[in-house]
Amino acid sequence: MLSFLTVENFAVVQAARLDFSPGLNVLTGETGAGKSILIGALNMLLKRKASSSAIRDGAERLVVEALFVNGKEEFVLRRELGRRKSICFINGGMVPFDRLQAEAETRLNIYGQNEHVFLLNPANHAQYLDAFAENAGGLKNLASAFSELRHCLEEMNELQRHKQGMEERLDFLAYRVKEIEELDLQPGQDEELAQRAKILGSAEEILTRTSRLTMQLYEGENALYNQVTDVIKDLRFLQEIYPDLEPFSRDLDQLGGMIPDLSKYLSGVAGRVEYDEGELNQLEEKLLRIRRLKTKYDTDLDGLLQQLERMRTERERLIHMDMSLRDSSRRVKAALDLYRKELEDLRRRRREYASKLGTVMERELERLELPHSSFEVRIFEQEVTEHSASERGPDRVEFFFSSNPGQAPARVRDVASGGELSRLMLALKSLRDENRGITSIFDEIDTGIGGKTAEFVGEKLQRISRQNQVLCISHLPQIAAFADRHFLVEKRFENQRTFSSVRILDATEQVRELARLMAGSAVNDDVIRAAKNLREQHRS
């Protein structure tokens, strides 16, 4: 569950910390007080797009931090938005936004006023059916089959296009393959050649310096080795008298032992260096050609080798164009057959669960005081061809609804009122979130409803909150009265600036807020009593 939400410098909210409870949390307040800004704060964890204009005037950054608690486990999501960049954290460690978003999506689900529009669009109805039927596996298989079909179609179309200019393309590929193959390239060879060329180009200097170093270190009359040996003898004598010299003596011993080894290594280097002007010229010529090819293909040596393989493959494919086209056509057919099989599996589940969803929705709508409603999920199956195939299937799913007995169900977009849309969305939402352990957030779900309908919506929110935590922004007392924890969002003006704050209401304060929601500014003792009765009624 969402335990705490901290918001800093978000529009009119300078600083707010909300301590949520399990169950139903309701936020109320006057219009413009900043209730929806808190939803916007949570959306900062779910949506990449965030404008720096949301940062409060005079502040440098906006901060949203959410603490989730699951038993003894705590999980903190945090996003900081500055004037120029956004930074995300999970449990104090910096992460990319995609990671933050993925974690937030497993914990939060926001239902806003615009989801009425989402429900009115039949193109979205399949998502509800698939969520109810738990078709994620089938959809994944279908999407995989579609991806393979699309790949096979693209390959076949590409072959057909290539066939038109096959001879010209073959000549072009032959030239390019040859210019790379002539160099007989191997991975990492450019670095090896450059090192070898460097040795050959510096051969004379290498021989001179190794010879001089060998004499200076070990072989000369005044070699460093002889001098160090003398120093060691003298130091050992002094060490007998001054034991503190032992570390210096030990270090000099190590130096004395190192000098012969170094001299031997340098002699070996000199012995391996042979200047060969012909080899050097060949190396420099090959390196020059490699550099030109890298520039030409705008890549490194590994990229050249990959390009060579791609061109070889394409050349072979063109040489055997007719055979490749036949093979490609067979692959398309096989991919289409697989797609049809996966689609038929998905169709079976959709058909099965379409009727189940209709039955469950009618039961849920009855609980929301639409006792005579009819709800049908109709599937319009389309012919499957290479061109009609899509990631989610070519079929159309649409909801049909009637709230009156004896009236045939019609398209939701044609017959549902605002209040009916709210209840339809609430019923669908509760089915999708059931047993998911997710925090559901409803932003003014009561838009367009009132009276008994609002009370039924409040009861439904309360039932949902018994399984999953619910946050709800509302302006109706019939819904706010069900709150397990009631927050009041208030706005004040100081020094010509607007500030919004949020606080938890106690029982007395909640009654007063319910009274305000019921009567506005015309609150009297009768309204207070009615508000108290409303609260007690919904908490019994």
Confirm if 463 and 131 have CB atoms less than 8 A apart. Answer: no
- As to burial, measured by CB atoms within 10 angstroms (0-12 exposed, 13-18 middle, 19+ buried), residue 96 is exposed
Contacts of residue 2, defined as CB under 8 A and 6 or more positions apart, other chains included, come to: 20, 66, 67, 68, 107, 108, 439, 469, 471
Q: Identify the CATH number of the domain in which residue 17 sits.
A: 3.40.50.300
- C-beta atoms surrounding 181 within 10 Å: 12
| 185 and 72 part of one domain | no
Contacts of residue 302, defined as CB under 8 A and 6 or more positions apart, other chains included, come to: 187
Predicted pLDDT of residue 460: 84
| 91 and 182 part of one domain | no
Q: Is residue 526 part of a domain?
A: no
Contacts of residue 224, defined as CB under 8 A and 6 or more positions apart, other chains included, come to: 216, 217, 218, 259
Res. 431: pLDDT tops 90:
no
Which of 46-60, 161-175, 198-212 has the highest average model confidence (pLDDT)? 46-60
Q: Which residue has the higher pLDDT, 137 or 205?
A: 137
Q: Which residue has the higher pLDDT, 161 or 334?
A: 334
pLDDT tens, position by position, 31-63: 766 677 778 888 889 888 878 888 888 888 999
Mean pLDDT, rounded, of the chain: 84
Amino acid at site 99: R
Q: How far apart are CA 258 and CA 252, in angstroms?
A: 10
Q: Of 318, 352, 374, which marks where a domain is finished?
A: 318
Predicted pLDDT of residue 173: 85
Q: Of 318, 344, 379, which marks where a domain is finished?
A: 318
Q: How far apart are CA 13 and CA 62, in angstroms?
A: 10
Q: Is residue 194 part of a domain?
A: yes
Q: 3-state class of 73 per DSSP? A: strand
The residue-averaged pLDDT of 14-22 equals 90
- C-beta atoms surrounding 400 within 10 Å: 18
| 175 and 103 part of one domain | no
Predicted pLDDT of residue 407: 87
User: Token pair of 434, please?
Assistant: 């059931």
| 88 and 178 part of one domain | no
pLDDT tens, position by position, 390-399: 999 999 999 9
Give the confidence band of 277 by pLDDT, cuts at 50, 70, 90. low
| 94 and 186 part of one domain | no
Spatial strand order of the sheet with 24-29 comes to 93-95, 86-90, 73-82, 61-70, 2-10, 13-19, 497-504, 485-494, 24-29, 470-473, 439-443, 108-111
Give the confidence band of 434 by pLDDT, cuts at 50, 70, 90. low
Res. 285: pLDDT tops 80:
no
Cα dihedral sign for 109, 111, 117, 119? positive
Q: Which residue has the higher pLDDT, 453 or 128?
A: 128
- As to burial, measured by CB atoms within 10 angstroms (0-12 exposed, 13-18 middle, 19+ buried), residue 76 is middle
Q: Which residue has the higher pLDDT, 283 or 427?
A: 427
pLDDT tens, position by position, 468-480: 899 998 889 999 9
Residue given tokens 């055979």 in the structure block? 323
Predicted pLDDT of residue 484: 93
Q: What residues pair up with 470 in beta bridges, in sequence order?
A: 24, 440
Percent helix / strand / coil, the chain, rounded to 5? 60, 20, 25
Q: What residues pair up with 232 in beta bridges, in sequence order?
A: none
Res. 443: pLDDT tops 50:
yes
Residue 55 is given by DSSP the state B
Q: Is residue 149 part of a domain?
A: no
Containing domain of residue 259, as a range?
A: 171-318
Q: How far apart are CA 291 and CA 245, in angstroms?
A: 57
| 304 and 176 part of one domain | yes
Number of domains in the chain: 2
Instruction: Please state, for a pLDDT cut of 70, what percent of the chain lies above it.
Output: 90
Instruction: Please state, for a pLDDT cut of 90, what percent of the chain lies above it.
Output: 30
Q: 3-state class of 54 per DSSP? A: helix
Predicted pLDDT of residue 341: 96
- As to burial, measured by CB atoms within 10 angstroms (0-12 exposed, 13-18 middle, 19+ buried), residue 309 is exposed
Give the confidence band of 511 by pLDDT, cuts at 50, 70, 90. very high
| 211 and 304 part of one domain | yes
Residue given tokens 């209401």 in the structure block? 505
The residue-averaged pLDDT of 124-147 equals 92
Q: Is residue 27 part of a domain?
A: yes
Res. 167: pLDDT tops 70:
yes
Task: Kindly write down the DSSP assignment for every residue of 392-429, as one continuous string.
Answer: T-S-EEEEEEE-STTPPPEEHHHH--HHHHHHHHHHHH
pLDDT tens, position by position, 377-389: 999 999 999 889 9
| 95 and 203 part of one domain | no
Spatial strand order of the sheet with 396-402 comes to 374-380, 396-402, 410-411
Q: 3-state class of 372 per DSSP? A: coil
Q: Is residue 482 part of a domain?
A: yes
Q: Which residue has the higher pLDDT, 12 or 504?
A: 504
Tell me the CA end-to-end span of the chain in Å, nearest whole number.
24
Q: Of 296, 318, 340, which marks where a domain is finished?
A: 318
| 313 and 175 part of one domain | yes
Predicted pLDDT of residue 436: 63
Confirm if 464 and 435 have CB atoms less than 8 A apart. Answer: no
C-alpha gyration radius of the chain = 38
Predicted pLDDT of residue 490: 86
Q: Is residue 512 part of a domain?
A: no
| 216 and 98 part of one domain | no
- Among the residue ranges 185-194, 212-221, 274-283, 368-377, the one predicted with the least confidence is 274-283
Res. 485: pLDDT tops 90:
yes
pLDDT tens, position by position, 73-102: 889 999 999 888 899 999 999 999 999 998
- Among the residue ranges 95-99, 104-108, 203-207, 377-381, the one predicted with the least confidence is 203-207
Give the confidence band of 64 by pLDDT, cuts at 50, 70, 90. very high
| 205 and 278 part of one domain | yes
Confirm if 20 and 469 have CB atoms less than 8 A apart. Answer: yes
Contacts of residue 8, defined as CB under 8 A and 6 or more positions apart, other chains included, come to: 14, 15, 16, 59, 61, 62, 63, 64
Q: Is residue 156 part of a domain?
A: no
| 207 and 102 part of one domain | no
The residue-averaged pLDDT of 211-217 equals 76
Predicted pLDDT of residue 435: 47
Question: What burial letters (b/e) apply to 387-398, b meaning 16+ CB within 10 Å?
Answer: eebbebbebebb
Amino acid at site 215: M
Res. 199: pLDDT tops 80:
no
